[in-house]
Structure 1
Amino acid sequence: MTDGNIATKKEVGLSKEEQEVLDEIERENVDFVRLQFTDITGTVKNVSIPAHQVEKAFDEGIWFDGSSIEGFARIQESDMRLDPDPSTFTVLPWRSDGDTASARLICDVVNTDGTPFDGGPRQVLKRVLSKAREMGYTVSIGPEPEFFLFEKDEEGKATTVPHDSGGYFDLAPKDMASDVRREVIFTLEQMGFEIEASHHEVADGQHEINFKYDDALSAADNIATFRAVVRAVAEQNGIHATFMPKPIAEINGSGMHAHISLFDEDGNTFADDEDEFNLSETAYKFMGGVLEHAPAFTAITNPTINSYKRLIPGYEAPVYIAWSDVNRSALIRVPDAAGTSSRFEIRSPDPSCNPYLALAVIIEAGLDGIENDIDPGTPVRDDIYEFDEEKREEHGITLLPGRLMDALDALEADEVVCEALGDHVTEKFIEAKQSEYDEYKTYVSGWEKAKYLEKF
């Protein structure tokens, strides 16, 4: 919707989709609607308006103060508007009382003149998807966000005590959170999600719920919604849900693997049944671009200091910039799939990322691979964790950044990824993460005290 100018909307009236939203609001007795958007770091924000103001929101947008949002605007240019996307309307399953309901609309952020705000994360992804369309492609994404469920203490604060002691694919009674997962699934289904599978993950208290692949913009919207629903349901059950990548040392962290494929008017452009891995030349070039730009986009897909405590050998997280059909130590894994299902899985992202920015930089990297015929090299089928440095060099395997600051340096040096983000987001993101790192440097951890306090 934000491709046009809000000022012209009154002249054309409401669209059919917008009118359908108003009809559903009346039918479902909705009293308040949350206008949802994200800041640059991926934190979900919302402005709540009475249901009778939704028509105005569609017609004119809703004003808000952009200077109060991380990475948006300076105080002297703070006025911005929210432009609701009617396709994202959903009634929230929880009701404020017995009769009335609340609903949600995801919004784009626009400037006062109605033009898209370059610093809006959803707009960043839209720009990249527009480029893909110009090249003849639509992008399909199937995300797999993992999370932990922890107990709360007597004061209601989150602990790192796992809610259960289950393991990979365990069942109740060991997996005591199965009822919570079931409640999350029912809630998501009421909101229009198509759930494919759910299971307990490797670590105590760790879980995964997989929802069906979708177009990239819807997938990013779904990730943001998923995180909010998981947290809300956990709170209702007196426990805490976290998407922190590595909340506990020496156990597996939480990833957000992303399955990706491109489609054109003839179908899945990644598919080639004559190929050993059922992948086309387009798929290989896209993969080459992802591998080429991985150091730079890691700052976006793994955006916290804690993210890099997950990206270490030995815990099923990728460390090496390589691809394989069997090797989970590689950045990219090609599953055994053909035809419409041909795809590959990018294993490095974690669920703390801003989904709009993360998908944007991955897609831009792949499109650059197609444009410049980037070769991904040959698959590595041996366990790369067992390779020494000499053998890695022999296979042309490099490592993902080991620290947030290394990733930020790689980001600044990569014109393709910076162009995908745009000048505003690149500058504000690096600024925010540099500030985060500066704060971290001044903190004395428990590990340091235990290691050095009595020794020196």
Structure 2
Amino acid sequence: MNRNTEIAPTGANLAEALAFLEKYPDVQAIDVFLTDCHGIGRGKTIRRHELEGLFTSGRALPMSLFGQDVAGIDVDASGLVLTEGGGDKRCWPIPGTLGYLPHAHRGQMLITMYHDNNTPVEGEPRPALVRQINRAKAAGFTPMGAFELEFYLIDPQRLPDGRYQPAPYVLTKRRSGQRNTMSVDELDEMSPLFDAIYEGASHLGLTLETLISEYAPGQYELTIRYRDLLHAADDVIIAKRLIRTCARRFGIEACFMPKPFGNEAGSGMHLHLSLADENGNNLFADQKDGSLSPLMLNAIGGLRQTVGETMLVLAPFMNSWRRFASSVYSPASHDWGVENRNVAIRVPGHPGKTRHFEHRVAGVDANPYLVATVTLAAALDGIETRADPGAPCIDEMNALKNPTDLPRSWLEAIDRFDQSTFARHALGDCLHTAFGAIKRAEYERMALEVTQAEWDLYGFTV
């Protein structure tokens, strides 16, 4: 057998595995996982001698992984539980994602699921993005993008009242309750952790860039290098797992829940997106007279028409909706504007060839493949129909927003999503049905939970 032959339907080449084994002779285990509809990695830890077999024969996993809620409980209404007798499907490696986690002394690789006829499983999020990217390429566009990740670092030891608090600094063990927004000294006090994260990124083919302390105690933001949209979404999955596993080695937890503290800032996952031509030229670049690209404006018009129907993708959990309770840096609208952080779709104020838009609605808990899928699909629809984005919003921060038709609650978002022809078209019938059913089951589960806050406020008063 030619050991460089591409056997996997993903195009993965055995040479990638052999090069990894040669580079890391002491690695004895590799985490291989696909990404469910919640953005959670589901898979196995294989041993060193099994890696070549992953590339030549794939690995079996149940399709029902895509029909589970966030806790891993099967949702029968998803249509993906015990489908076709509940048998396993074959998973194959995603090229270029095999890397090393130095802090864990293990390898890691993303995989994706296929039917026996080598077609992608429709209930998996990543292939939905691939379909929209192929649609864009057929129209002469190459989607480019990058995500920003906001997150909290949390002390896993609860306070006496059962609540969590931000983690102490790993360098000094000091604890601060101040916001310290963009404080470089705060970054220094967390530097051992972030040094480990950057080191891990260098072994994973992940280009993490700017780090800042954000607008709340214990909140940080990392940016990732701009690249083709599919791999930009892969980068989020890899980065979140890297941050989470590194943090645990320092005795703290990384929290990607968008609103862990009600009175503090929420954590978003802003998507920066543009379209390039076949030569790599940015088609969203400013016109010669300095005006904004008509193509980009049409794309923004398409997004504005669909934000309300896709809020379930952008805010998929009950906690997601707490992020919209305050308008401060939270785009609870479908407005757009130039250099305005109070809108849903922001055009950064850097003119010229690098012009793009930033979709600011998604929380850091959202699945990046799904966010990218509905954003790209809406942009392409807007370009095809020459959608008018309307006038840009120039309101000041905290000004009264224009009326919108956005859902006001998680349940309303589920209903809107289920009824959306656009969402079904963008995601495909199977994934659209499964995602809606899973989220409705999660809503019904959470609706039965009586919180401590309810006991405190109502329990022996009303």
For structure 2, the 5+ residue unaligned runs are 69-77, 168-175
Please tell me the residue identity of whatever aligns with 1:81.
R
- Does residue 214 of structure 2 align to residue 205 of structure 1? no
- Preserved CA contact (<8 Å) 1:322 1:380: yes
- For residue 157 of structure 2, the aligned residue among 153, 160, 169 is 153
Secondary structure in 2 matching 1:88: coil
Secondary structure in 2 matching 1:104: strand
* 1:89 corresponding residue in structure 2: 98
1:283-322 alignment runs, 5 A limit: 283-322=296-335
- For residue 411 of structure 2, the aligned residue among 398, 405, 411 is 405
Structure 1, residues 333-385: CA drift from partner, whole Å, max 9, x if none?
11122333110111111111111111111111111101111110011112374
- Preserved CA contact (<8 Å) 1:18 1:86: no
- Preserved CA contact (<8 Å) 1:151 1:160: yes
Which shifted more, 34-43 or 203-212?
Answer: 34-43
- For residue 24 of structure 1, the aligned residue among 14, 20, 27 is 20
- Preserved CA contact (<8 Å) 1:337 1:343: no
- For residue 439 of structure 1, the aligned residue among 412, 434, 445 is 445
Which shifted more, 305-314 or 429-438?
Answer: 305-314
- Preserved CA contact (<8 Å) 1:72 1:120: no
- Does residue 63 of structure 2 align to residue 57 of structure 1? no
Q: TM-score, normalised by structure 2?
A: 0.87
- For residue 198 of structure 2, the aligned residue among 163, 182, 185 is 185
- For residue 427 of structure 1, the aligned residue among 430, 433, 441 is 433
- Does residue 64 of structure 2 align to residue 39 of structure 1? no
Instruction: For 1:141 and 1:78, locate their aligned partners in 2 and report how far apart those are by CA, in whole Å.
Output: 36
Secondary structure in 2 matching 1:145: strand
Which shifted more, 374-383 or 167-176?
Answer: 167-176
Instruction: For 2:43 and 2:324, locate their aligned partners in 1 and report how far apart those are by CA, in whole Å.
Output: 32
- Does residue 235 of structure 2 align to residue 222 of structure 1? yes
Instruction: For 1:103 and 1:124, locate their aligned partners in 2 and report how far apart those are by CA, in whole Å.
Output: 27
* 2:286 corresponding residue in structure 1: 272
Instruction: For 1:197 and 1:13, locate their aligned partners in 2 and report how far apart those are by CA, in whole Å.
Output: 35
Please tell me the residue identity of whatever aligns with 1:264.
D
Q: CA deviation at 1:184?
A: 1.7
Secondary structure in 2 matching 1:357: helix
- Does residue 185 of structure 2 align to residue 172 of structure 1? yes
Q: CA deviation at 1:150?
A: 1.1
Instruction: For 2:268 and 2:245, locate their aligned partners in 1 and report how far apart those are by CA, in whole Å.
Output: 20
* 1:99 corresponding residue in structure 2: none
Which shifted more, 410-419 or 341-350?
Answer: 410-419
Q: TM-score, normalised by structure 1?
A: 0.89
Q: CA deviation at 1:123?
A: 0.9
Structure 1, residues 66-111: CA drift from partner, whole Å, max 9, x if none?
2355268322133211111222121222354xxxxx3222111111
Please tell me the residue identity of whatever aligns with 2:19.
D
- Preserved CA contact (<8 Å) 2:14 2:56: no
Q: CA deviation at 1:197?
A: 0.7
- Preserved CA contact (<8 Å) 1:180 1:234: yes
Instruction: For 1:246 and 1:221, locate their aligned partners in 2 and report how far apart those are by CA, in whole Å.
Output: 24
Give the RMSD, CA atoms, in angstroms: 2.4
* 2:74 corresponding residue in structure 1: none
* 1:127 corresponding residue in structure 2: 131
- Preserved CA contact (<8 Å) 1:203 1:252: yes
Structure 1, residues 28-87: CA drift from partner, whole Å, max 9, x if none?
213322222111221111222233333322222111222355268322133211111222
Show structure 1 runs of 4+ deviating over 6 A.
Answer: 12-16
Structure 1, residues 409-430: CA drift from partner, whole Å, max 9, x if none?
2222321221111111111111
For these two proteins, the number of residue pairs brought into alignment is 433
Structure 1, residues 295-345: CA drift from partner, whole Å, max 9, x if none?
112111211111111013333110121111132221011112233311011
Instruction: For 2:141 and 2:11, locate their aligned partners in 1 and report how far apart those are by CA, in whole Å.
Output: 26
- Preserved CA contact (<8 Å) 2:10 2:92: no
Please tell me the residue identity of whatever aligns with 1:114.
N
Please tell me the residue identity of whatever aligns with 2:190.
A
- Preserved CA contact (<8 Å) 2:17 2:52: no
Same amino acid, percent of matched pairs:
30
1:232-381 alignment runs, 5 A limit: 232-266=245-279, 267-274=281-288, 276=290, 278-381=291-394
* 1:79 corresponding residue in structure 2: 88
* 2:173 corresponding residue in structure 1: none
- Preserved CA contact (<8 Å) 2:103 2:196: no
Instruction: For 2:158 and 2:341, locate their aligned partners in 1 and report how far apart those are by CA, in whole Å.
Output: 40
For structure 1, the 5+ residue unaligned runs are 1-7, 97-101
- For residue 142 of structure 1, the aligned residue among 135, 139, 146 is 146
Secondary structure in 2 matching 1:339: coil
